[in-house]
Structure 1
C-alpha cells in the first residue's frame, strides 16, 4: 500500500455566501491547485464531498460539472455523501484512491450551500439523517443532543457551565481564523443566558447554518517533495458506523463509531492519544466535543468536562482542540466541514496557521455523521 501525502489545501470564507455550491467548489478547487502547484490536467481523480446539493439547491451532477469548470477532464469524478461526515468520508476515499495505486494525483473538494433556506427547511433536510421512524415522530439531531447532554451532566455530575466553556473557547479560537463564520468572543454568562433550544442546550451550544467549501490535494508520499518542501502524511485513518437508532445504544454517551474509527487510525499510525498534538473534533453541538474526547481516549469516561475546566483543550493547553474555531464558530457547511477539519490539521502540522499556530507534529481530525451514525478519523503528521 502506498503512503499518501497531502501537498496542498484551501478553504473559502465560511458564512452566508451569495455564490451557489458549484461556484463555491470551484473557488476552493482553484485555490487548492494553486497552493499545491498542480495543474488541472495532472488530476487523475476528483472527489466532491457534498451531502445535499439536490435537496438544498436542486443541483445534482456537481462532480462532473466541477471537472469541467476546473478544466480537469478527463479526470474520474465521484460525489461522496456520508451525511454530515461527507468531508471525512471524502478524505478516506481520496486516501484510498492514492494508497491503492489507482491515482497519482487526487483532489478532494467539499462544499455546501445552505443559508438561502429557512432554518426550518435546513433542519428538515438535516433531520432526514435520522431513522425513518424517528423522523416521522419529529425527532431531530438537536433533540438527540439535548437528551444526551442531560444524561451526561446528570450521570457524571458535570456542571452546566462546562458546556458553555466549550462554546467560549471555540469562539475565541474563531477570532484567530479569517475563514470562520463567527469572529467574536463570548463569555460563559452570554452562553448560559441565550435562548433554550433543546434542554439543557441553548443557542450558543449549536453550530450555525453555513455556506462554504474547502479542498485538499493528495499524492504518493514518495513524490511529495517534488511539489512541496513541507507537507503532511496521512499516517492513520479509520471509519466506522454505529446503530442508526440512537436509543438502541447501550450507552448513548459513548459514540461507538468514534471509538472504533479512532482505534483504527491509532493502530495504523502506530500512535496513541498522547502522541496527538492538536485535534479538530466535530462540535456540531458542544456535548459532542466531550463525547469525542472520551471516545478517542483524550479523557477518561465522564471526565472530558474536567479537562475543559483545567484548560487542557485551550489553544495554549496540553491538547488544543478546535484551533480553527470548530464547527461552533467556523461554521458547518455539511459537505465541507470534514475537509475543513483536514485543512486545519494540515496547516497546523506544516506550520502555516499564523497566530493560532500551536507546536504540532501530529494532528487528528474526527468527522461525525448524524449523531454518531458514521464517523471518519484521520491522523496527519507533518514533514518539514
Structure 2
C-alpha cells in the first residue's frame, strides 16, 4: 500500500468576515494549497469538502469558484472534526491506489448556536444541562481540580501561552498577548471557565493537497510531509462511567501510536483541540505527554511553550488562532506541516520532525501523525 504525503497547504486568515462569502474563503485556501504544491486545479483527481453548517452541495459551490473540473466531490460533516476526518478519508483513498492527487478543503462561516440542537429532547444531557459545551467542560475542570488539585490559574495560563504563540501567527484571530489577570478577570461563563478560556466564533478556511508515492517519485517535492498514521473513533456513553472526560482521545491515540510505531516521547510538536482551556490540560494526559493528573503542572513548568520539552499549539490553538468548525482540523495540519518544513518563523519549533494533530468533534476524535 502506498504512503500518503501532504505536498501543499493553504490557510486564510481566521476571524470574522461578514462581507465575504464562504465560497470565496474556501476557494482562497484551496488556490493557496495548489500554489504551495506547485500544481494546477486540473491535476486534482478528487475533492473532499469539510464543513458543518454551510448548506447543500457546499463543496460543489467551492469547486465552481476555482474552475470547472468534472472530478468527484465529497462533502464531509463530522462536527468540529470534519476537516481532519476528510483528510483521513482522502489519505485512505490515496493509500488504496484509487487516486494520485487529492485535494481537501475545510471551511466555515460561523453562526451563534450552531451546536445547540444536537441532543434529542429526552437525552440525559438535556436534563443535566450539559448540552451547552461550556457547562460540560466546566464539569471536567471541577472534577480535575477536586481530584488532582489543579487550579483555575493553571487552566487560565493555557490561554496566556496560546495567545503568546499567536503573536507570531499572521493568520490568527487573536494575535495579541494577554496576562493571567486579564484571563481570570474576563466575564465568567461557567465556573471556572471565563470568556477568554472559550474558543471564539470564527470564519475561515484551510486546504491541503495529498499525493501518492508514485506521484511524488515522478514529480518530486523536497517539502513533502508524510502522513504516518491516522485514527478516527467515537465516544462511549459518558453516563456509563459517571464522569466527563476525553477518554476517546486516549483510546484513539493509543491505536495511532501503534500504527505509526511511535510513542509520545517521539513527538516534537502537537496541535490539539483546545476548544476550552481545560480541554488542552486534559488532552496532555490523554495523549501521554504527562501522567494522569499532571496536566496543570505541565502548564506551570513551561513544557508546552515553544522552546519547551513538547510545544503544544504553536499556532495559538483554537483559543487564539480561532475555531472555524469545518476548517479547524486542516488548520492544525497546516501548522504541523509548516513546522516540519521548518517554515514557521518566530514560532518555529527547533528540529521538529514528527508532529501530531488531535481534533475533536462532539463525540468524535480524529488524530494524525506526520513526519519528515
So what's the TM-score if we normalise by structure 2?
A: 0.95
CA shift in 2, pair 1:301/1:251, >3 Å: farther
1:20 corresponds to: 21
- Give the drift of 1:367: 0.2
- Matched with 2:338 is 347
User: Aligned equivalents of 2:337 and 2:46: distance in 1?
Assistant: 20
Query: Does 2:367 match 1:377?
Result: yes
Give how far 1:221 is off: 3.1
Q: How does 1:149-160 map to 2 (within 5 A)?
A: 149-160=141-152
- 1:23-72 Cα shifts (integer Å, max 9, x gaps): 11111111111110111111111001101113xxxxx2111222222225
- Aligned residues of 1:207 and 1:284 also touching (Cα < 8 A): yes
- Cα distance in structure 1, aligned partners of 2:241 and 2:201: 28
Unaligned stretches of 5+ residues in structure 1? 55-59
- 1:230 matched to 2:230? The reply is no
The alignment's C-alpha RMSD in Å is 1.5
- Deviation per residue, 1:216-272 (Å, 9 max, x gap): 1000134326242121000111111112x544445423x222112211211111110
Checking the alignment, whether the CA contact within 8 Å between 1:194 and 1:203 is kept in structure 2 is yes
1:61 and 2:57 equivalent?
yes
Question: Is the aligned partner of 1:295 residue 2:286?
Answer: yes
Mapped to 2, the partners of 1:2 and 1:63 lie a distance apart of: 27
Asked if 1:142 is matched to 2:134, the reply is: yes
1:153 CA displacement: 1.0
| C-alpha contact (below 8 Å) 1:47/1:90 kept by paired residues | yes
Equivalent residue for 2:10?
Answer: 10
What count of residue pairs does the alignment treat as equivalent?
Answer: 366
1:197 equivalenced with 2:199 (yes/no)? no
1:334 CA drift (Å): 0.1
Alignment TM-score, normalising by the size of structure 1: 0.92
Return the alpha-carbon distance in structure 1 between the equivalents of residues 341 and 249 of structure 2.
26
Q: Is the 8 A contact 1:241 1:256 kept in 2?
A: no
Aligned to 1:57: none
Q: Which runs of 5+ in 2 are unaligned?
A: none
Write the distance in 2 (CA, Å) between the matches of 1:135 and 1:51.
21
Kindly report which structure 2 residues correspond to 1:1-384, keeping only aligned pairs within 5 A, or say none.
1-17=1-17, 18-54=19-55, 60-71=56-67, 73-114=69-110, 117=111, 122-123=112-113, 125-130=114-119, 132=121, 133=123, 136-137=126-127, 139-224=131-216, 226-243=219-236, 246-253=238-245, 255-359=246-350, 360-370=352-362, 373-382=363-372
